[in-house]
Structure 1
Amino acid sequence: MSDRPTDNREQRTAMQEQTMTEIGQLDYRPRKSRIGAWIGAVVALGGFTALSFTLGAQTSEGGTVTWADQAGMIGLGAIGAGIALSFLRLRVRADAKGIEVVNVTAKRFFPWQVVTAINFTDKMTWATVELADDDEMSIMAIQVSDKERAVAAIKHLRALLEQSRS
């Protein structure tokens, strides 16, 4: 019986060493914000479309509502839907070479040599990548709302960062 715990410890150590040397790439997209983006887009487009048909033929001051006004309302809904759908871009990719962060308006690649840390604390809405020049960039794809998935992604990123340093 005394040999068994030692064997288990050796097996766990061997498994940890194997997983550290064979860390694969990460391609992560948030789940809950993607759902929210689709819901927001449907609400914006559907709401403005419905509103355009309920305006009536005349305004309270006696003006008329034309088809152009209705098209304009639908256009506003389409713009709102487009803004909501821009959150579908959120993504983080990482491999042995570095990390690529895709936010709503920016896409940046950082080689591991310039990355000093991957931060994600309880008080943060999303993760950040800390750079060697004391700059940092938000990783909006890794959000606190995704809970365990986000934590697993952070652990994967930190393992890739650690692997790059060895």
Structure 2
Amino acid sequence: MTAVQEQTMSDLGQLDYRPRKSRIGAWIGAGIAFVGFTALSFTLGNETFEGGAITWLDQAGMIGLGVIGAAIALSFLRLRVRADEKGVEVTNVASKRFFPWQVVTAINFTDKMTWATVELADDDEMSIMAVQVSDKERAVAAIKHLRALLEQSRS
């Protein structure tokens, strides 16, 4: 079942949602970083302005910087939110957390927010970076699904 489909409470299934536009942006950013630094490494020349030598190690270092930049950009491919009758699992760039529905008080997503948040019973909040305003209708459908699962867990 995808997040875009509307469901009633009786046939509400699990949600497995990944953003679309940030994934495209991650691949483009990774390509630009890698290709850009690789191209730059071949345009360094043989000498610095002060007469120092530029070796193949310097070129390899520039390519390595491109690999690091690409890896950072590709880390945004991890973004995901999964939810079922037990709770919600949020995977952001550097963290992955599971919250049972008993500790979730609200799922927030307003027009002023870049991405959704899950509000917890201890007044803590965690961003759901997978549900982004740039995905428009898909993001709204995912939020509706998350809220329906939250409501279903309370009944």
TM-score tier (shorter): over 0.9
Structure 2, unaligned runs of 5 or more = 1-5
Aligned counterparts of 2:40 and 2:98: Cα–Cα separation in 1: 43
1:88 aligns with 2:77: yes
Moved over 6 A (4+): none
Aligned counterparts of 2:91 and 2:20: Cα–Cα separation in 1: 15
SS of the equivalent of 1:164 reads helix
1:150 is aligned with what amino acid?
A: A
- Cα RMSD (Å): 1.1
Structure 1 residue 106, shift from structure 2 partner: 0.5
Aligned counterparts of 1:91 and 1:52: Cα–Cα separation in 2: 35
2:87 is aligned with what amino acid?
A: G
CA offset digits 1:73-92 (Å, max 9, x no partner): 00000000000000000000
Percentage of pairs with the same residue? 85
Partner of 2:3: none
CA offset digits 1:21-72 (Å, max 9, x no partner): 2200000000000000000000000000000000001111111110000000
Counting helix residues as a fraction of each chain, which structure ranks higher? 1
1:131 aligns with 2:120: yes
Aligned counterparts of 1:19 and 1:130: Cα–Cα separation in 2: 24
Q: How does 1:84-123 map to 2 (within 5 A)?
A: 84-123=73-112
Partner of 1:5: none
Structure number with larger C-alpha Rg: 1
SS of the equivalent of 2:144 reads helix
Aligned counterparts of 1:124 and 1:159: Cα–Cα separation in 2: 20
Paired residues of 1:21 and 1:163 also in contact (CA < 8 A): no
- If the length of structure 1 is used for normalisation, what is the TM-score? 0.89
CA offset digits 1:76-115 (Å, max 9, x no partner): 0000000000000000000000000000000000000000
Partner of 1:12: none
Report the count of equivalent residues.
Answer: 150
Aligned counterparts of 1:87 and 1:19: Cα–Cα separation in 2: 32
Partner of 2:130: 141
SS of the equivalent of 1:27 reads strand
Aligned counterparts of 2:22 and 2:138: Cα–Cα separation in 1: 13
